Amino acid sequence: MTATLRLPVLSLTDTVVLPGMVVPVELDEQAQAAVDSAVSAAAEGEPKKLLLAPRLGDRYPTFGAVATIEKLGRLPGGAPGAVLRAESRVRIGTGVTGPGSALWVEAETVDDTATTEQTGKLAAEYKALVIASLQKRNAWQIIDTVESITDPSQLADTSGWASYFTAEQKRQLLETPDVDARLTVLIEWTRDHLAEVEVADKIGEQVREGMEKSQREFLLRQQLAAIRKELGENEPDGSEDYRQKVEEADLPEKVREAALREVGKLERASDQSPESGWIRTWLDTVLELSWTTTTQDNVDVTAAREQLDADHHGLDDVKDRIVEYLAVRSRRAARGLQVIGGRGSGAVLALAGPPGVGKTSLGESVAKALGRKFVRVALGGVRDEAEIRGHRRTYVGALPGRIVRAISEAGSMNPVVLLDEVDKLGSDFRGDPAAALLEVLDPAQNHTFRDHYLEIDLDLSDVLFLATANVIENIPGPLLDRMELVQLDGYTENDKVAIARTHLWGRQLEKAALDDAEVGIDDESLRLIATEYTREAGVRQLERALAKVLRKVATKLGTGSDRIDVTPANLKDFLGRPRFTSDAAERTAVPGVATGLAVTGLGGDVLYIEATALPGEKKGLQLTGQLGDVMKESAQIAQSYLRSHAVQLGIDPDDLEKTVHLHVPAGAVPKDGPSAGVTMVTALASLATGRNVRSDVAMTGEVTLNGRVLPIGGVKQKLLAAQRAGMKIVFIPRRNEPDLDDVPAEILAELDVRPMTDVAEIVAQALEPATTTGAEIAA
């Protein structure tokens, strides 16, 4: 039931008082007038009451709280004050007159709504949330008070004490007489508050843990520094130490400036910062490089050539090039010209040849002859461009490239760097290492080589680069163009015997713990091992065969023998039966088989091409032997040439209309290239005429539809292979005749090399004389 009250008004700025709250109020002039009016209007013995009206912003209040003046006096600061107890919620009406100078208004009391089951549930939920909030603040005494409240309206009005509610929210509660509505909005606000508190607590915990960890590390570092000081040890790798190291190091001016900039960053960075570790690693790498250290070249050209001859047999091309390089540098030094550094003062040689000819070991010999440091960089299988140029420093585990690491390992700026297996470089999504080598191996550019890790110009112009490769075709053209190509085509039998006698035999004696007093071998045995037990361009298999012989010898000496001499008569006891014998006579014993010459990654080799005719009406050419596109085209050209020149070659045109099967044995090995053209023509002509190809004849060359013999590559390697296979006559294109200057004289003495221009001449000389006329193709 509502009632109308006449009350003086006490306006509270930015403060809202809800029923049930007891608040102290400082009495200014307006507040004092309201209190005086309430005191004068109250009857003797009656409570002195006034209206507490919140004043927020420009809006006049519509609700207020009736409060009783509990006590008048002074506040702790000495100002006059009063203690007021808010009792009930009222709706503010119109202004009225009253005693005193205060503002008087009529106010209508507001009754709380009836309590329902829903109200009880809301009150219980809100009470639980309030208690949870108080528990976070460990306010256990207040929790007891809250738990004792049973009236839902009273419970809702306790929110006036909550510091996490704004004055505007509290005024909304004051203006909501409905208990259910008040509890509903309070539950929503309190949940939001608890969520904020949880997030804040989590963040605070993380911050506290981080601060505790930092403080603990700081204290430990301070203790460690104190311990080092007591022990007389300085702090290792400190920024002051790096600055001293950089200032004392012999660095080029630009490098010193870059290093000092990084030292400045290190001094400003925290010890716990990851950047500090990156900077220290970078500075260590820069300081390890010998920026101004170079070795003095051996200027004695004669002594250098003697050193090269002592280490390697043959290989005159490479030795001549190294001696020329040394002679030029010697003359420049004698005339006071620039020798160290500068554009184009270095050299880049590409040593290409089959395995086992001494390409890799030649690098050490060159370094020894020049008096330089030697370092080998294995490139086989490298697929990441960063392996050459280095990684950016921002990457975890970043390192400089292999070139910079090689210079650091050598300890000088003018070493001999051997780039081994440059033809085995790969490429994928990480880049092309071969492309990264373009700058490294260009004498006109590598004086300002920049590694991605160092980001400082590095002068590689005085480095002697040697690159090795087995297959020249696998080296990208732009990279090969930057290098001087020196071919190492393989050794003759005499070379192999000399190498075995002067180098391999003594090395294997030492490995087997034997000496010349216990075992001996004659040159004829060495020649048999080189020809019948190995068939290679190099001497790697030859050395393995010698190692096997000496293992057998060591075994026999262990059973009581005094001395063993290896001879052709007992060689079979050590190595078994010969593995390689000439089978050319057997292979060419039937028409349709011709002996060609090819170059593979292992050097020169003979290549047998077989042809046979198939019965049936179907016409065409069948090809087998895993042939490439170029070789397939050569077969088609050969057949077309024979058909168009059948009369000239003495072939019945009808014999060429049958199906011909052309096969190149060793089908598991891919074969391609144009140099088998003349061999295919000869094999097909042999089949068509029924005349065998001479067993001592081999040939090579590309053929055109008109029968012209075009030049090919690898003449020296092919002639070496022909000599190893026991051939006597070799047909080559006439335009390859200048290549014979590179062939050893002993090979030319054993072979009858015939330069040709027309394939018909090759056919005429390669086929054995006809025994019958009108030869027919065997069906």
Q: Which residue ranges are tagged as binding site?
A: 353-360
Decide: 754 and 730 in contact? Cβ < 8 Å.
yes
Which residue positions form the known binding site for ATP? 353-360
- CA dist 466 and 441 (Å) reads 10
Residue 729 host element (H or E): strand 729-733
Residue with tokens 């170079």: 294
Provide the pairing of β-strand 464-469 with 347-352: parallel
Q: Compute the radius of gyration of the chain from its Cα atoms.
A: 51
SS3 state of residue 207? helix
- CA dist 331 and 320 (Å) reads 16
Decide: 540 and 355 in contact? Cβ < 8 Å.
yes
8, 15, 428 from 54: Cα distances, Å: 14, 6, 76
Provide the pairing of β-strand 659-663 with 621-624: parallel
Residues sharing a CB contact under 8 Å with residue 491, sequence separation 6 or more, in sequence order? 313, 314, 357, 499, 537, 538, 539, 720
- CA dist 294 and 316 (Å) reads 28
Closest CA to 8 of 24, 43, 32: 32
DSSP state of 295: P
Full DSSP string of 77-128? TS-EEEEEEEEEEEEEEEEE--SSSS-EEEEEE-PPPPP-HHHHHHHHHHHH
SS3 state of residue 437? helix
User: Residue 756 has which token pair?
Assistant: 């040709």
Residue 503 has phi, psi (to 5 degrees) of -125, -55
Residue with tokens 């087995």: 470
From the CB of residue 686, how many other CB atoms can be counted at a distance below 10 Å? 26
Look up residue 252 and give its amino acid.
P
Residue 283 host element (H or E): helix 274-288
CA-CA-CA-CA dihedral for 540, 541, 545, 548, to nearest 10: 80
Q: Which residues are catalytic?
A: 675, 718
- CA dist 737 and 353 (Å) reads 21
- CA dist 300 and 280 (Å) reads 43
Residue 320 host element (H or E): helix 316-334
- CA dist 103 and 96 (Å) reads 8
SS3 state of residue 713? coil
